[in-house]
Amino acid sequence: MDIAQVAKEVHIASRSAKVGVLGNVSGYDNLKLHPMIESVHKDGSVIFNDGSVVLADVILHCTWYAPIYLTPILQGSQCKYHFPFLDTNGIVTVEDNCVGPLYKHTFPPALAPWLSFVGLPLMGIGFILYEFQSKWIAGVLSGRIGLPSEEEMMRDIEALYLLLEASGTPKRYTHGIGHCRMEYMDWFAGECGIPGIEEWRKEIYYATKKNYIVRPHAFRDEWEDEDLALKAHEDFTKCRSNGVDRTCIS
């Protein structure tokens, strides 16, 4: 999007784009979405899988899509999981960018609680997710929090896989939690017996997401959620008067 502000045309080749969203991107006169590239030629012509052709001055290789607020342009992250240092005798594998089997994207049932993964889920709210997930792991390791049996954890994992398959979600997006990010993080908080994500923080997140879509060029400078900022300020003030705890960390 930033490049489109200075370039004559920007053409995005996306492996994840759905047929219905190919073509002109809403809100842009010079930004077009295509399927993957089939071939590139010396004269600068780029042929896409659907047969469309453009003449390109520059081809920019984007090797990783950050989990930004999702628009029809980028559906999911292309981050690649790779653990060459980890030998589990085949118990944990990475297949089509799916690390598994993992209970709640964290514990491999056969090796729990001695092996765990922090931060695999995509499209969560990073630091809050990592904190909640780490507290859960620490609670399990200390014996304060119990895990289901290995069989129960495997059933939970298999249910997730079936749900993703039924919804047509590619295996490489197994760890995408964009549709349930708040519920997922609040689940960890519940297991740990700590407060979940504050309502004002959830509201700010969704307001910012909406503002990004409405004002892609000016979302950092223009907003309409001052009332939510006031709620956050009031909550921080309350925290300071009671002593700093998790809810004071932004």
Report pLDDT for 139.
98
Please check whether residue 63 lies inside any domain of the structure. Answer: no
Q: Which domain holds residue 227?
A: 199-248
183 and 117 inside one domain:
yes
Please check whether residue 71 lies inside any domain of the structure. Answer: no
220 and 205 inside one domain:
yes
159 and 208 inside one domain:
no
39 and 99 inside one domain:
no
**Spatial distance between the Cα atoms of 174 and 190, rounded to a whole number of angstroms:** 23
For the chain (250 residues), the mean pLDDT of every run of 10, in chain order, is 85 76 81 92 94 93 49 45 92 94 98 96 89 97 98 98 94 91 95 93 89 81 83 83 50
Please check whether residue 151 lies inside any domain of the structure. Answer: yes
111 and 181 inside one domain:
yes
106 and 183 inside one domain:
yes
Of the residues 163, 192, 221, which one is the last residue of a structural domain? 192
Of the residues 150, 171, 192, which one is the last residue of a structural domain? 192
242 and 186 inside one domain:
no
188 and 204 inside one domain:
no
Of the residues 192, 212, 239, which one is the last residue of a structural domain? 192
Report pLDDT for 58.
92
How many angstroms separate the Cα of 197 from the Cα of each of 5, 86, 181? 36, 33, 11
Please check whether residue 140 lies inside any domain of the structure. Answer: yes
Please check whether residue 87 lies inside any domain of the structure. Answer: no
Number of folded domains in the chain? Answer: 3
Closest to 138 (Cα-Cα) out of 118, 163, 158: 118
pTM for the model stands at 0.67
145 and 207 inside one domain:
no
Task: Evaluate whether 153 touches 103 at the Cβ level (below 8 Å).
Answer: yes
205 and 171 inside one domain:
no
140 and 227 inside one domain:
no
Number of H helices, E strands in the chain: 5, 8
Report pLDDT for 112.
98
Please check whether residue 41 lies inside any domain of the structure. Answer: yes
221 and 165 inside one domain:
no
Report pLDDT for 73.
32
**Spatial distance between the Cα atoms of 227 and 238, rounded to a whole number of angstroms:** 17
pLDDT in tens, 49-96: 999 999 999 998 875 544 432 333 333 445 688 888 999 999 999 999
Report pLDDT for 106.
98
Please check whether residue 74 lies inside any domain of the structure. Answer: no
Alpha helices in 30-149 (DSSP H): 126-142
**Spatial distance between the Cα atoms of 231 and 212, rounded to a whole number of angstroms:** 21
Please check whether residue 121 lies inside any domain of the structure. Answer: yes
